[in-house]
């Protein structure tokens, strides 16, 4: 499987954040940059499909899909949070109950099986809420034999993207490309084994959180996601 395209000189320093800290205007701007970059990787065709991970990933994915002249949909995943830090992901879960767990984190944090089961139950409830909101018709995913571009607005641990990519493989796409404007370097490396390609604009060494690489990182709300879906006539 291919990974992140190697870059040299200035562009390599830009990618790893040593030249200066790249900041995207907002999620729409990030989608424009990512979509333009993906034109060199993905054949522009209506046969491709772009899937955005709610919430922020949907805004980025909408723009990417337009740039690639591709179909668009959402795929809903939820991170499983750590006991003492709800911003930290120990894994992620999909609506069918399939999970990815970061065994190293689970063991190092001494997370109990009981906690994992409780957290799984909480996140499954939120997944069902989002399905009713974002995909009330519960239509199947038409991805078999197609190139799927899985998009998020940034990748910190990679947990939700990994869970989504593994779930997607069950639906037999021809190719899975994971794409994001920015990713933590180790997470980007980890994702290489989960997809046919990983395309990220920036993998900065000083990665702390996704929002530090956006000038405007207003909260991505349900209302904003619904606006995208209504404009796409998916609701």
Q: pLDDT tens digit string along 10-49?
A: 334 445 544 456 899 999 999 999 999 999 988 766 689 9
CA–CA dist 87, 4 (Å, integer): 26
Each residue of 115-142: pLDDT tens digit? 999 999 999 999 999 999 999 987 789 9
Residues 6+ apart with CB under 8 A from 154: 56, 180, 181, 182, 183, 210, 211, 213
Does 74 have pLDDT greater than 90?
A: yes
Give me the number of domains the chain comprises.
Answer: 2
* 69 and 159 housed in the same domain: yes
89, 157 contact by CB (below 8 A): yes
Beta bridge partners of 79: 92
Scan for tokens 């900065």, then name that residue.
204
Does 4 have pLDDT greater than 90?
A: no
Q: State residue 99 phi and psi, 5-degree precision.
A: -130, 155
Q: Does a structural domain hold residue 89?
A: yes
Q: Which residue segment(s) compose the domain that 35 sits in?
A: 9-75+141-205
pLDDT at position 15, please? 54
Q: Does a structural domain hold residue 190?
A: yes
Mean pLDDT, residues 63-74 taken together:
96
* 69 and 107 housed in the same domain: no
pLDDT at position 8, please? 34
pLDDT at position 13, please? 45
User: Which DSSP helix (H) or strand (E) runs through 179?
Assistant: strand 175-182
Each residue of 154-192: pLDDT tens digit? 999 999 999 999 999 999 999 999 999 999 999 999 999
Dihedral of alpha carbons 43, 48, 53, 57, sign: positive
Task: Tell me what the pLDDT averaged over the chain comes to.
Answer: 90
Q: Does a structural domain hold residue 2?
A: no
Verify cis geometry, omega within 30 degrees of 0, for the bond prior to 133. no
In the chain, % of residues over pLDDT 90:
81
CA–CA dist 77, 95 (Å, integer): 7
pLDDT at position 194, please? 97
Q: Does a structural domain hold residue 152?
A: yes
152, 161 contact by CB (below 8 A): yes
* 71 and 95 housed in the same domain: no
Q: 26 by DSSP, 3-state: which?
A: coil
The CATH number of residue 38's host domain is 3.40.50.2020
Scan for tokens 């990748």, then name that residue.
155
Q: 219 by DSSP, 3-state: which?
A: coil
Does 144 have pLDDT greater than 50?
A: yes
Each residue of 217-234: pLDDT tens digit? 988 999 999 999 999 999
Q: Does a structural domain hold residue 3?
A: no
* 34 and 145 housed in the same domain: yes
Task: Provide the token pair at 56.
Answer: 């922020």
pLDDT at position 12, please? 43
58 exposure class (CB count in 10 Å sphere: 0-12, 13-18, 19+): buried
Each residue of 87-108: pLDDT tens digit? 889 999 999 999 999 999 999 9
């Amino acid at each position: 499987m291919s990974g992140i395209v190697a870059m040299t000189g200035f562009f390599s320093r830009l990618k790893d954040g040593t030249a200066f800290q790249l900041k995207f205007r907002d999620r729409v701007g990030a989608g424009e940059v990512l979509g333009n970059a993906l034109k060199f990787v993905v054949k522009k065709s209506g046969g491709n499909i772009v899937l955005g991970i709610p919430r922020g990933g949907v805004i980025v994915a909408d723009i990417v899909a337009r740039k690639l002249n591709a179909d668009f949909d959402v795929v809903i995943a939820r991170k499983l949070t750590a006991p003492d830090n709800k911003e930290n992901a120990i894994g992620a879960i999909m609506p069918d109950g399939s999970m990815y767990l970061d065994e190293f984190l689970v063991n190092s944090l001494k997370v109990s099986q009981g906690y994992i089961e409780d957290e799984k139950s909480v996140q499954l409830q939120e997944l069902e809420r989002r399905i009713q909101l974002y995909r009330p018709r519960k239509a199947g995913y038409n991805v078999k034999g197609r190139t799927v571009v899985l998009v998020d607005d940034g990748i910190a641990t990679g947990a939700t993207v990994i869970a989504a990519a593994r779930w997607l493989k069950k639906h037999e796409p021809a190719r899975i490309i994971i794409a994001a404007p920015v990713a933590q370097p180790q997470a980007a490396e980890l994702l290489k084994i989960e997809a046919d390609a990983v395309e990220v604009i920036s993998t900065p060494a000083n990665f702390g959180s996704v929002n530090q690489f956006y000038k405007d990182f207003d909260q991505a709300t349900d209302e904003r996601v619904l606006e995208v879906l209504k404009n796409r006539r998916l609701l």
